[in-house]
A and B are shown apart, each in its own frame.
Chain A
Amino acid sequence: MLIFTYSMIFAITIVSALIVIVSRNTFYSAISLIVTMIAIAGNFLMMRAELIALVQLLVYAGAIMVLFLFVIMLLNLREEEETPRSLMPRKIAGLLLAMIFIVQAAYITLSIFNIDSVRDPIVLTEEFNASQEKRAEETGVNAFAETLFTKYMIPFELTSVLLLAAIVGAVAVGLKEDKRQAAPDAPQANLQ
């Protein structure tokens, strides 16, 4: 039963990711990307990474994708038209790139993971249950917070600085041109 659920999530992830890159309409791409993100959250749940799944839903499917949709609506975009000079060589180059990624990653993965270890999923023995409970305790929210606020304290604080810089940068870049000129001591931007 679990393997059926997992296959469904797997298929939804791949199909919606393909729609993201195939669709001509950027809005459909964005909606499909939301579906992909939710399916990836499902993947995290299958590994019992509950907190990561929750953050994935809140941050990615919630915040980031809403930002994307806002910008798409602000830009009033037409459907993407393909410029003639860029048709074939680029597509072939893209396929080559993707193939190289897949081959590389498959090589590395196969040399690390032992395929023989893929066992029958229904091993609900006592031992398995015990290991699952231990794992749940190891990776629960409590353990997560403890690690984040002790071992990873400095990266965590640096992250807040990064977010602050991003906020200031986004506001500075997104400000209207005339407002920027109106500032008394702003240098006269004459970039064109």
Chain B
Amino acid sequence: MEYVYSGNIILAVLLFAIGALGVVWRRHAIAVFMCIELMLNAANLAFVTFAYSINDSMAAASGSKPLDGAIIALFVMTVAAAEAGVGLAIFLRVYRQRGTINLDEFTLLKD
């Protein structure tokens, strides 16, 4: 089953890169936000994969168990949920004031 671990690490790397690419490419605030969620998901996947891939000798050497990484992933999910709630409320408010959520339009500090 080792191929699942290696494959998942590669998958997490690719997903993170795709998310970073999307954050830079997309101009839509919600789309950028979704790409950030993608990156969080990739980090989660890497966490769980690294945690589950340790075997008994590694666990004895480092003192950590497979569950530790999985619980960190659970916390990451909670933080992502909180972040999504507040972020989307901010977008709604900005849309009400400015009539758009295209990130290129927000140049108040620049001008």
Interface residues of A (CB under 8 A from B): 2-3, 6, 10, 13-14, 17-18, 20-21, 26, 29-30, 33, 36-37, 40, 43-44, 46-49, 51-52, 55-56, 59-60, 63-64, 67-68, 71-72, 74-75, 77, 80-83, 86, 90-91, 93-95, 97-99, 101-102, 105-106, 109, 113, 115, 117-119, 121, 135, 138-139, 143-144, 147-148, 151-152, 155, 159, 162-163, 165-167, 169-171, 173-174, 176-177
Contact = CB atoms under 8 A, between A and B. Distances in A.
A108 B9 CA distance: 11
Contacts of A167: 85
B34 A68 contact: yes
Contacts of B27: 80, 82-83, 86
A177 to B, nearest CB: 7
A173 B93 contact: yes
A112 B5 CA distance: 12
Contacts of B7: 6, 10
Given A14-B15, A147-B67, 20 more contacts: A13-B15, A21-B19, A21-B26, A26-B31, A36-B38, A47-B8, A47-B48, A67-B84, A74-B92, A83-B102, A86-B27, A94-B24, A97-B21, A101-B13, A101-B20, A148-B74, A163-B78, A167-B85, A170-B88, A174-B92
Q: What are the 4 tightest A-B residue pairs by CB atom distance, in nearest-first order?
A: A94-B24, A21-B22, A166-B82, A174-B89
For the complex, would chain B's binding face be called helix, strand, loop or mixed by DSSP majority? helix
A6 B49 CA distance: 14
A103 B41 CA distance: 19
A72 to B, nearest CB: 6
Interface of B: 1-28, 30-31, 33-35, 37-38, 41, 44-45, 48-49, 52-53, 65-68, 70-71, 73-75, 77-86, 88-93, 95-96, 101-102, 104
A101 B16 contact: yes
A113 B4 contact: no
A51 B20 CA distance: 28
27 contacts: A20-B35, A21-B19, A21-B35, A26-B34, A36-B38, A40-B41, A51-B70, A59-B77, A64-B81, A67-B88, A68-B34, A101-B20, A105-B13, A105-B16, A109-B9, A113-B9, A118-B6, A121-B1, A138-B67, A139-B70, A144-B70, A151-B68, A162-B78, A167-B85, A169-B85, A173-B90, A174-B89
Nearest to B4: A46
